[in-house]
């Protein structure tokens, strides 16, 4: 009798069956590549747990057999944290089936959701009970809350509500050996020892698998005022932020910086978009103030603030949204800048943050370096200026492109792309050195993943790295949880 080979894969399939473990080539192809198509791996198989007990069983087996596990949410990350390596030995564990809202408590302003819940579904669940979950980003229609937690996602409302970390009350986490850390509490005050939940938020699946979370909700905004404002420079954006904070009673929730080139790319590549203002400006800000009071005259208040700013020369023009359709049109421009960049070509992305008062100096210095050293490229600098986070991206230039669907100068494009790819490491190091000189961060909201391991080692003190490695070893002594992400290699 011929025996089937007793491989880790055959054991997985035999033990858990096709309902939990799939080796379908089409399914694997979809999870083997990251969202930006920078990394392409080869998964051993795809695990699809339906509940926390399924995760426990899978991790217990993988821990005993020393099979590496790569947790994956919506696979929308920018740094390759959810992509398996090329060895064909790593099991991708998808949370997509775990997408239930377990409970919602409008009195306690809390909601308990499984890790596979789509962010937009969490937002809608909150709206159904007249509450607001403020985490909002471009991928909210496909990213999952577990991934948001694992990368400590930011988004457009950080200015008022904080990062994802600030929105978490409790977590349920399955550890590498299958034990469960059950801290799925809705308590807002709990001083019983170390607060372990914060170790898993931003750990990118390297310490365990977040299976569920208890999240904070807020009173739903009843009054909203949104404006698209023309400004001469980044310094004006900082001054306008200060004015909006003081004059609105600190009701400002978002202040997004948009360069003119960002607007141009959106108009060029994204359907159903138009410029909110007639006369072009070097820079714009998209600002929004909100209140839970229905009768709050926010549009009037914002108009008064912007009128005074116009008289003082702080701004040159502004359009205030008169209805929800106009408000969504403004936000469509901001949220589609990343997609417009992809249509334009290859991009070197820098997800940086510096103290807000240093933003104008950083942009001036780093922009001058790009103009001198990468003159062929487009600089697209935009982002959440209200919290000091900019996406300082250097993009392939397609000057011979006209409107959508026209011919392109392929040779010129390839030369520019080849140059950017060849010198990407040098360019990133230069920009990150500028960031470091301002006591900033080279990873503000996108995480480390596989992409930025070298940068973490370069800019982080040895003592801090040693502590990170020690924490990793405590929670994952066999090194099976997402190896090679955040920290280099296996334990």
**pLDDT tens digits for 250-306?**
899 999 999 999 999 999 999 999 999 999 999 999 999 999 999 999 999 999 999
Which domain CATH number covers 245?
A: 3.30.70.2190
In this structure, the answer to whether residues 144 and 240 fall within a common structural domain is no
Average of per-residue pLDDT across 340-345: 92
**173 CB-near residues (< 8 Å, 6+ apart):** 180, 181, 183, 197, 200, 207, 208, 209, 210, 211
Q: Is residue 84 part of a domain?
A: no
Q: Is residue 381 part of a domain?
A: yes
- Single out the residue in 268, 303, 333 at which a domain terminates: 333
Which domain CATH number covers 163?
A: 3.30.465.10
Task: Evaluate if residue 414 carries a pLDDT over 60.
Answer: no
The answer to whether the beta carbons of residues 132 and 224 sit under 8 Å apart is no
Measured over the CA atoms of residue 232, residue 136, residue 435 and residue 354, the dihedral's sign is positive
DSSP β-ladder status, 101-105 and 110-114: antiparallel
Q: For Cα atoms 111, 146, 69, give the angle at the middle one, nearest 5 degrees.
A: 145
Query: Distance between CA 353 and CA 436 in Å, rounded?
Result: 10
In this structure, the answer to whether residues 367 and 270 fall within a common structural domain is no
Query: Distance between CA 219 and CA 132 in Å, rounded?
Result: 6
- Single out the residue in 167, 189, 219 at which a domain terminates: 219
Place 490 in a pLDDT band, splitting at 50, 70 and 90: low
In this structure, the answer to whether residues 291 and 396 fall within a common structural domain is no
In this structure, the answer to whether residues 236 and 316 fall within a common structural domain is yes
- Single out the residue in 333, 354, 376 at which a domain terminates: 333
How do residues 96-120 score in pLDDT, each as one tens digit? 999 999 999 999 999 999 999 999 9
Residue 376, pLDDT score: 84
How do residues 206-254 score in pLDDT, each as one tens digit? 999 999 999 999 999 999 999 999 999 999 999 999 999 999 988 999 9
Q: Is residue 442 part of a domain?
A: no
Count structural domains, the chain: 3
Q: Is residue 465 part of a domain?
A: no
Task: Evaluate if residue 413 carries a pLDDT over 80.
Answer: no
Place 489 in a pLDDT band, splitting at 50, 70 and 90: confident
Q: Mean pLDDT score of the chain, rounded to an integer?
A: 93
Residue 406, pLDDT score: 39
Q: Is residue 482 part of a domain?
A: no
DSSP state of 309: H
Instruction: Give 214's strand partners.
Output: 112, 170
In this structure, the answer to whether residues 320 and 396 fall within a common structural domain is no
In this structure, the answer to whether residues 245 and 306 fall within a common structural domain is yes
> Where in the sequence is the domain holding 190, given as residue range(s)?
101-219
How do residues 38-90 score in pLDDT, each as one tens digit? 999 999 999 999 999 999 999 999 999 999 999 999 999 999 999 999 999 99
Query: Distance between CA 168 and CA 186 in Å, rounded?
Result: 9
Q: Percent helix, strand, coil in the chain (nearest 5)?
A: 40, 20, 40
Q: Is residue 285 part of a domain?
A: yes
Which domain CATH number covers 387?
A: 3.30.70.2740
In this structure, the answer to whether residues 208 and 230 fall within a common structural domain is no
Task: Evaluate if residue 421 carries a pLDDT over 90.
Answer: no
How do residues 461-482 score in pLDDT, each as one tens digit? 999 999 999 999 999 999 999 9
Task: Evaluate if residue 399 carries a pLDDT over 90.
Answer: no
Q: Is residue 69 part of a domain?
A: no
In this structure, the answer to whether residues 237 and 318 fall within a common structural domain is yes
Q: From the CA atom positions of the chain, what is the Rg in Å?
A: 23
Measure CA 379 to chain center. 20
Q: Is residue 490 part of a domain?
A: no
In this structure, the answer to whether residues 230 and 196 fall within a common structural domain is no
Task: Evaluate if residue 409 carries a pLDDT over 70.
Answer: no
| From 67-71, 174-178, 372-376, 380-384, the region with the lowest mean pLDDT | 372-376
Q: For Cα atoms 418, 420, 422, give the angle at the middle one, nearest 5 degrees.
A: 65
Residue 410, pLDDT score: 45
Percent of the chain with pLDDT over 70: 95
In this structure, the answer to whether residues 213 and 234 fall within a common structural domain is no
Task: Evaluate if residue 3 carries a pLDDT over 70.
Answer: no
Residue 418, pLDDT score: 82
Average of per-residue pLDDT across 135-139: 92
In this structure, the answer to whether residues 207 and 227 fall within a common structural domain is no
In this structure, the answer to whether residues 208 and 105 fall within a common structural domain is yes
């Amino acid at each position: 009798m011929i025996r089937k080979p007793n491989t880790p894969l055959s054991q997985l399939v035999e033990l858990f069956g096709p309902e939990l473990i799939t080796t379908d080539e089409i399914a694997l192809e979809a999870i083997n590549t990251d969202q930006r198509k920078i990394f392409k791996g080869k998964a051993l198989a795809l695990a699809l747990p339906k509940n926390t007990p399924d995760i426990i069983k899978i991790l217990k087996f993988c821990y005993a057999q020393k099979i590496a596990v790569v947790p994956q949410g919506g696979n929308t990350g920018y740094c390759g944290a959810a992509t398996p390596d090329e060895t064909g030995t790593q099991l991708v564990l998808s949370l997509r089936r775990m997408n239930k809202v377990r409970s919602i408590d409008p009195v306690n302003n809390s909601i308990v959701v499984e890790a596979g819940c789509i962010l937009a579904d969490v937002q809608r669940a909150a709206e159904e009970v007249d509450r607001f979950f403020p985490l909002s980003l471009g991928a909210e229609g496909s990213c999952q809350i577990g991934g948001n937690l694992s990368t400590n996602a930011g988004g457009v409302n950080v200015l008022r509500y904080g990062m994802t970390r600030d929105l978490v009350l409790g977590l349920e986490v399955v550890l590498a050996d299958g034990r469960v850390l059950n801290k799925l509490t809705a308590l807002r005050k709990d001083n019983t020892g170390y607060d372990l939940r914060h170790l898993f938020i931003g750990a990118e699946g390297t310490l365990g698998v977040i299976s569920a979370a208890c999240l904070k909700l807020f009173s739903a905004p009843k009054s909203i005022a949104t404006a698209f404002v023309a400004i001469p420079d980044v310094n004006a954006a900082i001054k306008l932020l200060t004015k909006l904070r003081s004059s609105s009673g600190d009701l400002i929730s978002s202040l997004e910086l948009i360069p003119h080139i960002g607007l141009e790319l959106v108009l060029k590549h994204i359907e159903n978009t138009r410029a909110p203002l007639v006369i072009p400006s070097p820079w714009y800000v998209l600002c929004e103030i909100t209140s839970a009071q229905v009768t709050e005259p926010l549009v009037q208040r914002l108009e008064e603030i912007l009128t005074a700013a116009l008289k003082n020369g702080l701004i040159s023009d502004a359009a205030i949204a008169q209805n929800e359709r106009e408000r969504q049109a403004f936000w469509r421009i901001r949220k589609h800048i990343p997609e417009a960049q992809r249509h334009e070509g290859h991009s070197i992305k820098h997800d940086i943050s510096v103290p807000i008062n240093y933003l104008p100096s950083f942009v001036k210095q780093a922009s001058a370096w790009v103009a001198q050293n990468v003159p062929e490229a487009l600089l697209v600098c935009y982002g959440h200026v209200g919290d000091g986070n900019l996406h300082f991206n250097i993009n392939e230039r397609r000057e011979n492109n006209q409107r959508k669907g026209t011919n392109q100068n392929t040779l010129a494009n390839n030369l520019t792309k080849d140059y950017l790819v060849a010198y990407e490491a040098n360019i990133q190091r230069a920009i990150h050195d500028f960031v470091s000189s301002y006591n900033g961060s080279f990873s503000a909201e996108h995480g480390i993943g596989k992409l930025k391991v070298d940068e973490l080692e370069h800019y982080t003190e040895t003592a801090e790295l040693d502590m990170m490695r020690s924490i990793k070893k405590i929670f994952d002594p066999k090194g099976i949880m997402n190896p090679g992400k955040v920290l280099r290699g296996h334990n």
